[in-house]
Amino acid sequence: MWNLYTSTLNINAMKKLFITILIFAGMLNATAQDEELFGTWDICQFTRIMNEDVYITSDVELMQNDSVWSLDLMEDLTVIQTSNMRTGEMEAQDGTWETVGQDLKLHLEFDGQEISLTYNYSFEDDVLLLKRQNPTGTLKLEISFMRRARI
């Protein structure tokens, strides 16, 4: 009877320890992803996929057109987005950012309203790649950013 009771205690203790380790490992992984995002990022390629048609704007074309889109992702989880690609005029939006798994969520203020934008993010050769699509999948965006500075 005593051995069965102590075995049950050991199994429960091991389950709790395992769950604690998983939670802690998940927190470390999320922190590592967040830290990799800290910094100032400048657009270096813009790809728009409409149905089957692919339109790529390269870094050379972006520079020739004086196109600007930068993201300042701060350690305190605030963000400043600066761009002239929406209206042709330079504008900046302040907000906050967070990651959930491989999603980067930007909560920005546009014209007095908070807008939340969710991008799937990944890193490829020191380039931050953001992807998103409309609900029907007929329009997809893939935006590549190079790090200008670490914050």
DSSP 74: -
Which residues does 143 contact at the CB level (< 8 Å), separation at least 6?
Answer: 43, 45, 46, 47, 69, 119, 129, 130, 131
pLDDT tens, residue by residue, 69-128? 999 999 999 999 999 998 899 999 999 999 999 999 999 999 899 999 999 999 988 899
Tokens of 13: 């203790």
Tokens of 11: 């199994």
Tokens 């930068």 -> residue: 70
pLDDT at 28 > cutoff 50: no
pLDDT at 25 > cutoff 50: no
3-state SS, residue 104 = strand
pLDDT at 40 > cutoff 90: yes
pLDDT tens, residue by residue, 70-85? 999 999 999 999 999 9
Higher pLDDT, 69 or 5: 69
Average pLDDT over residues 24-29: 38
pLDDT at 20 > cutoff 80: no
Average pLDDT over residues 132-151: 92
3-state SS, residue 67 = coil
Q: What is the pLDDT of residue 5?
A: 54
pLDDT tens, residue by residue, 50-63? 998 999 999 999 99
Instruction: Tell me the C-alpha distance between 151 and 140, whole Å.
Output: 30
Q: What is the pLDDT of residue 124?
A: 87
Tokens 């490992």 -> residue: 25
Give the chain's end-to-end CA distance (angstroms, integer): 60
Q: What is the pLDDT of residue 10?
A: 52
Q: What is the pTM of this model?
A: 0.75
